[in-house]
Amino acid sequence: MDLRNLEKSVKINLMRKWKGVIVLLIMAALVTWGLLNLPKIMNAVQGKYTAWKTQRQIAALERPYKTDKIGGQTPEETFDMFIEALKKEDIELASKYFVIKKQDDWEKTLGEYKEANILGDLVSELKDAQGKLEKSAQATSENTIEFTYLTKLEKDTTADFNGQKIDLKAGNYRNSIIFEKYPTGVWKIDLI
């Protein structure tokens, strides 16, 4: 009986050792495979992370354009609202009728007009233009529209454009106003 138990015990120990060897071989193969493929795995993970991060940045940049609701349902309505804000000397609101990237510059410019007491002149010119707006023949796209209007300069004058003095002769001038439609459906002033 002892011999049988001994044989049985030897077989069990031998099987345990082979099981351990097999497990170690499998683990070694997995580690080797992982090390050989680590650059591919890292590139895939990093690529997905970079794509995710880029999507978040794009969404953050688009958010103001997708949430801005200050403006009219038509370019003309936005123009009217802009003039009304100027009449009330609400420079902050008036600047909000411009496209987002130009709002700060226009708030500063309109503030300078107000300080120089020429805001009323701008309002007069724009009110005069209200009834003369014509869609440009160089029609743009469904999300961009250009309007032109004629303005008359009664006498020669010198204008200051961003610190640069420009002499303007008396006569008729054609001016443009470009509007851009935002994803929220409101129209913004892009150029005036």
- Cβ proximity of 136 and 146 under 8 Å: yes
Question: What is the torsional sign of CA 47, 50, 52, 58?
Answer: negative
Amino acid identity for residue 78 in this structure: T
Q: What is the CATH number of domain 75-191?
A: 3.10.450
> What residues does each domain of the chain span?
1-67, 75-191
Q: How far apart are CA 169 and CA 163, in angstroms?
A: 19
pLDDT single digits (tens) 79-94: 999 999 999 999 999 9
What is the pLDDT at residue 125?
85
pLDDT of residue 53 exceeding 70, the answer is yes
> Left, alpha or beta for 117 (phi > 0: left; psi -120 to 50: alpha)?
left
pLDDT single digits (tens) 117-157: 889 888 988 998 888 888 886 656 788 999 988 887 788 87
Q: In this structure, what are the phi and psi dihedrals at residue 177, rounded to the nearest 5 degrees?
A: -130, 125
